[in-house]
Homo-oligomer: A and B are copies of this chain.
Amino acid sequence: MGPGPSDVHPRVLAALARPTVGHLDPYYLRVMDELQSMLREVFRTKNRMTMAISGTGSAGQEATVLNLVEPGERVLVCVNGVFGVRLADMAERAGGEVTKIERPWGEVFPVAEVKEALARLKPKVVALVMAETSTGASQPVEEIAAAVRDAGAMLILDTVTALGGIPVEIDKWQVDAVYSGTQKCLSCPPGLAPVSFSDRAVEKILKRREKVRSWYLDISLIANYWGSDRVYHHTAPINMTYALHEALRLVLEEGLDACFARHRKNHAALKAGLAAIGIPYATQAGYELPQLNAVRIPAGVEDAAVRTALLERFGIEIGAGLGVFKGKVWRIGLMGYASRQTNVLVLLAALEQLLAEHGHKFERGAAIAAANEIYAAQG
């Protein structure tokens, strides 16, 4: 129940351990085709260039930046947490002229602020994080995406923690490049990065004046293997592909909308439970991610001691705060397979015990009661 890797579904672990075949084996090529088709459903896109990069989510992140940004191009990066900072760093390494706009940690960007920056800077590329894993903030995307397109720029969208947890609408929003990870709401081990590029992004990549600064992440080369030509690029991570294939099957079996509703319900129960024992969220009200709950550590309670006790005595991992949230915030993941009533109740029970031991004042049993009220109401 940390900020990822999340719990992996047993069916995904079983798929991971299937015998390794060759990367040009007809069976494997079929798995790849099915994976692409399922990824398009999950991203809600028809983009031909939809596939999985052979690295973790950060590799997908850098793949979108290195391919879309040419040296000397102006890039606007929206920064309200760790992953925005990282996008800016990557865009600089890609040779971009980077300008950041910033919001305090935990807040989201109002569309007016992005519009102002677009008018002032006239960037070629804009990068935005949809679900900031470091702050639990859920950034509304639709209007910003429209503003970016109106300004003639291309939008890179981070959906690492978003995908499978809240609605991601790549075609409806006309996003040009999107990346995600396997280890969050897809309930698959870390190791692959789903990505998708719009046709106009692909056109830009194919017309680049200078080669992409990484051979490994060069989309024009990778696409020749995922496409019908099957040109050898690198040896694909066969078993991780099996795992992601199975993870996507699980999400689509449940149905995306049902999956989002489950995430919302368990989040509501956790939130009610925490509120009942005096633990507020660190995220701007109304913009809390259901899958990543960033909550304030009560005064007088020792961060590391509680997390260690949770792990050692209850077998539960929750995440520490990063950056300015270090020591002040816990990050509780309710992602994918981990978004379950059992997990919410066990965590609240364990937290009640540990917080009482640490002298935090609250009514014993209140968290469990409040969470159960939500479950009783929502079924």
Contacts of A213 in B (CB 8 A): 93-94, 213-214
Partner of A20, one of B5, B21, B93, B94: B5
A111 CB to closest chain B CB, in angstroms?
28
Contacts of A233 in B (CB 8 A): 58
Interface positions of A (Cβ within 8 A of B): 2, 4-5, 7-8, 13-14, 16-23, 25-26, 54-59, 61-62, 66, 86, 89-90, 92-94, 181, 183, 189-191, 211-217, 232-240, 243, 311, 317, 319, 322
Q: In the complex the two chains form, is A322's CB within 8 Å of B232's CB?
A: yes
CA–CA, A235 and B59, complex, Å: 10
A29 CB to closest chain B CB, in angstroms?
12
- Residue contacts A-B, CB under 8 angstroms, 11 given: A5-B21, A5-B238, A13-B19, A21-B317, A25-B317, A54-B191, A86-B215, A89-B215, A93-B212, A189-B240, A239-B243
Q: A92-B211, A190-B237 are in contact. List 4 more A-B contacts (CB 8 A).
A: A8-B20, A8-B239, A190-B238, A237-B240
CA–CA, A2 and B243, complex, Å: 23
Partner of A317, one of B22, B59, B90, B211: B22
Q: In the complex the two chains form, is A191's CB within 8 Å of B189's CB?
A: no
Contacts of A62 in B (CB 8 A): 214-216
Contacts of A211 in B (CB 8 A): 92-93
Partner of A4, one of B90, B92, B235: B235
- Residues A214 and B217 in contact in the complex (CB < 8 Å), given A5-B22, A5-B23, A17-B17: yes
